[in-house]
């Protein structure tokens, strides 16, 4: 029991330290954006939603606009770790790019690149030396992997599932990214990337490190719950508002959102998570504090809250949806973005793989 408590205290302590380091990193990013390379990734499993927008997309656009070199990796191989279907991968990749462009990511050579990792063979090849730097026991201990196995209800687990955090290290290190914006669930993966970078440098690179140990940048955005108010917003849970939804669909979804039986609207995330989540969404759209919005609605009840959210969210998403429609008409533009992203990623990956071969004594 004491052991367990010690372990928990230690984990909380570690997490607090991570939060603090992330805060300092944030300040440095603003001061010297050109010293950083940011890499983030998404699996192409469906359309992006409002939770992604407020939770991560806006932050990526902000970093890009600060002038930070930005890599957006589409982790298409990772889709195969926990599902059988792959029919929709191409369509999902295409729509991810549309969503990225619609929210304000602007691919430019040397500035922002978007690419699927399946098209960057030299990146994937890094997986082979990296796999020799971690033990099977370490792979089996990853809490996020364990949770994903459980929530996907997998009875037979493929080796890709246990090894994808090592693949993710290749995703991050091929371009020597030093900052990775993440949610809490991705921290174990980033720790593995740091371990791999450190062990690689120690084992092969003597006094000239090949890889940086990338730092996590924790999201400051509040966790956006789904319209059921009980869990994180996610398309697979059917509780999400998609960026590509119409205004009418948005209105219908909000109308069905779960609230509680108390008429007076108050902001109390612990006791009234559903109502508070809706208030937070209004707040993110209008900039007004959730408490002030609650006061203004008062006895107007959840009907008025939902009406306000529908109006504010549809207004907020209007320019994004208009851009989305426009880009949808131009599939060649989306392909160009990917082709250019792949070209740049390959150039970097080739140079890194060359260095890696060289320190491993594999040059001919
Ligand atoms: N595992 C991440 C997720 O499920 C996706 C991902 C793949 C990623 N490669 C990455 C995230 C590299 C950050 C960096 O969301």
Residue range(s) in the chain whose domain bears CATH number 3.40.50.620: 32-221+330-359
DSSP state of 291: H
SS3 for 322? helix
Residue range(s) in the chain whose domain bears CATH number 1.10.240.10: 235-328
- 272 touches ligand 1 (CB under 6 Å): no
- 123 touches ligand 1 (CB under 6 Å): no
Instruction: Evaluate if residue 87 carries a pLDDT over 50.
Output: yes
pLDDT value for 82: 87
- 172 touches ligand 1 (CB under 6 Å): yes
pLDDT value for 99: 98
**pLDDT (mean) for 247-260:** 97
Instruction: Evaluate if residue 8 carries a pLDDT over 80.
Output: no
pLDDT value for 236: 81
- 168 touches ligand 1 (CB under 6 Å): yes
Instruction: Evaluate if residue 141 carries a pLDDT over 80.
Output: yes
Phi, psi of 158, rounded to the nearest 5 degrees = -80, 160
- 180 touches ligand 1 (CB under 6 Å): yes
Q: Give counts: helices (H), strands (E), the chain.
A: 15, 5
- 39 touches ligand 1 (CB under 6 Å): yes
- Token pair 């509780």 is found at 239
Distance from Cα 282 to the centre of ligand 1, integer Å: 29
pTM: 0.93
- At residue 50 the predicted structure's pLDDT band, cuts being 50, 70 and 90, is very high
- At residue 2 the predicted structure's pLDDT band, cuts being 50, 70 and 90, is very low
Phi, psi of 198, rounded to the nearest 5 degrees = -65, -50
Q: Catalogue the E-assigned strands of 279-346.
A: none
* Domain covering 235-328 assigned CATH 1.10.240.10 in the classification: yes
DSSP state of 238: T
Task: Calculate what percentage of the chain has a pLDDT beyond 90.
Answer: 87
pLDDT tens digits along 171-229: 999 999 999 999 889 999 999 999 999 999 999 998 799 999 999 999 888 889 999 98
**What mean pLDDT, rounded, does the chain reach?**
94
- 284 touches ligand 1 (CB under 6 Å): no
pLDDT value for 3: 46
Distance from Cα 129 to the centre of ligand 1, integer Å: 20
Phi, psi of 152, rounded to the nearest 5 degrees = -85, -5
Least confident of 113-127, 130-144, 210-224: 210-224
Instruction: Evaluate if residue 1 carries a pLDDT over 70.
Output: no
pLDDT value for 223: 86
> Which atom of ligand 1 is nearest the CA belonging to 42?
5
> Which atom of ligand 1 is nearest the CA belonging to 117?
9
- At residue 7 the predicted structure's pLDDT band, cuts being 50, 70 and 90, is very low
For residue 356, give the nearest of 201, 213, 215 by alpha carbon.
201
Distance from Cα 168 to the centre of ligand 1, integer Å: 6
Distance from Cα 198 to the centre of ligand 1, integer Å: 20
Least confident of 31-40, 80-89, 90-99, 210-219: 80-89
Distance from Cα 177 to the centre of ligand 1, integer Å: 13
CATH superfamily, domain at 32-221+330-359: HUPs (3.40.50.620)
Ligand 1: residue of 74, 78, 162, 217 to mutate (most ligand atoms within 8 A of CB) is: 78
pLDDT value for 4: 46
């Amino acid at each position: 029991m004491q052991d367990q408590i010690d372990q928990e205290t230690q984990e909380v302590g570690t997490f607090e330290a991570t939060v603090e380091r992330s805060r300092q990193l944030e300040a440095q990013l603003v001061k010297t954006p050109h010293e950083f390379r940011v890499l983030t990734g998404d699996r192409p499993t469906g359309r992006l939603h409002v939770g992604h927008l407020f939770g991560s997309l806006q932050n990526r656009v902000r970093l890009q606009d600060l002038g930070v070199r930005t890599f957006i990796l589409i982790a298409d191989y990772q889709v195969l770790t926990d599902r059988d279907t792959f029919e929709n991968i191409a369509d999902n990749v295409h729509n991810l790019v549309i969503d990225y462009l619609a929210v304000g990511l602007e691919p430019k050579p040397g500035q922002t690149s978007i690419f699927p990792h399946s098209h960057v063979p030299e990146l994937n090849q890094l997986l082979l030396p990296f796999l020799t730097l971690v033990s099977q026991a370490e792979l089996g201990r990853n809490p996020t992997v364990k949770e994903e196995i459980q929530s996907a209800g997998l009875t037979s687990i493929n080796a890709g599932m246990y090894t994808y955090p090592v693949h993710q290290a290749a995703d991050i290190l091929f371009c020597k990214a030093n900052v990775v914006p993440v949610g809490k669930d991705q921290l174990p993966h980033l720790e593995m990337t740091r371990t791999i970078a450190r062990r690689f440098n120690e084992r092969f690179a003597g006094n000239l490190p090949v890889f940086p140990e990338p730092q996590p940048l924790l999201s400051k955005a509040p966790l956006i719950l789904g319209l059921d108010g009980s869990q994180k917003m996610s398309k697979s849970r059917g509780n999400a508002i998609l960026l590509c939804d119409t205004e009418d669909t948005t209105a219908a979804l909000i109308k069905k959102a779960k609230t509680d039986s108390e008429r007076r609207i108050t902001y109390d995330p612990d006791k009234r998570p559903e109502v508070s989540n809706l208030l937070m969404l209004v707040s993110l759209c209008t900039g007004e504090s959730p408490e002030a919005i609650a006061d203004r609605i008062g006895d107007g009840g959840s009907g008025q809250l939902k009406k306000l959210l529908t109006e504010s969210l549809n207004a907020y998403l209007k320019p994004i949806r208009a851009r989305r429609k426009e880009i949808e008409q131009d599939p060649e533009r989306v392909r160009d973005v990917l082709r250019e992203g792949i070209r740049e990623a390959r150039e970097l990956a080739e140079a890194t793989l060359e260095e890696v071969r060289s320190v491993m004594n594999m040059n001919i």
